[in-house]
Amino acid sequence: MGKFVFNKTDIEGVYIIEPTVFGDERGYFMETYSETDFKEAGLNYKFVQDNQSSSFKGVLRGLHFQKNHPQAKLVRVLSGEVFDVAVDLRENSPTYGKWVGALLSAENKKQLMIPRGFAHGFLVVSDKAEFAYKCDEFYHPEDEGGVMYDSAGIKWPEIDVEFTLSDKDLKHPTLEKLDFKFKEV
């Protein structure tokens, strides 16, 4: 039996991944990544950096990307719940400008695999969430790009608090005004 279920989404290369969870009265165990299993599924990534953040309900981080050093990301939630989004920015993609969203939580243990060429963001829908992700390229602060969170037709979940965004994230252009597309990734 495979340790992961790799669910394709409507956008090429984006997967919702469900790990096999082994649980008993003591708790649970699961693998969150296996190079062998991912390669067998056609997801051939060499991750070089792990990141983790903690945010409160209503915090919306994104939509972010790196222009010259694009990153593939394997994202998951350690505690709480987020709505995670990937927006296709690949110039020649038939799904350019389309988005995929998934509810990721500590409870459902799902992960989202986002290839290079996408903007990424998430909204915390629980009181607090801890979010972790692997990247296949290092972070380069001078290389940041972004898209306004409310463009691309994203249907963010309705929650009982206002969204909280950084000043930087509030200054990103809309998808229509974005002067950047990934040529090859």
> What's residue 159's pLDDT?
97
Task: Please give the Cα distance from 55 to 139 (Å, whole number).
Answer: 20
Instruction: Check if 133 is active-site.
Output: yes
Task: Please give the Cα distance from 82 to 56 (Å, whole number).
Answer: 10
The CATH number given to 48-171 is: 2.60.120.10
* 20 φ/ψ angles, rounded to the nearest 5 degrees: -80, 130
* Per annotation, catalytic residue among 45, 64, 120, 172: 64
Residue pair 119/174 in contact by the 8 Å Cβ criterion:
no
* pLDDT over 60 (residue 1): no
Task: Please give the Cα distance from 77 to 108 (Å, whole number).
Answer: 9
Please state the rounded mean pLDDT for residues 30-43: 95
Per-residue tokens: 62: 């994104």
Residues 40-85 have pLDDT tens digits of: 999 999 999 999 999 999 999 999 999 999 999 999 999 999 999 9
Contacts of 179 (CB under 8 A, 6+ apart): 173
171 three-class SS: helix
Residues 4-25 have pLDDT tens digits of: 999 999 999 999 999 999 999 9
Per-residue tokens: 154: 């994203």
* 71 φ/ψ angles, rounded to the nearest 5 degrees: -120, 135
Q: In terms of DSSP bridges, do strands 4-8 and 99-105 run parallel, antiparallel, or are they unpaired?
A: unpaired
* 35 φ/ψ angles, rounded to the nearest 5 degrees: -55, -40
* Per annotation, catalytic residue among 15, 45, 133, 149: 133
Residues 130-185 have pLDDT tens digits of: 999 999 999 999 999 999 999 999 999 999 999 999 999 999 999 999 999 999 77
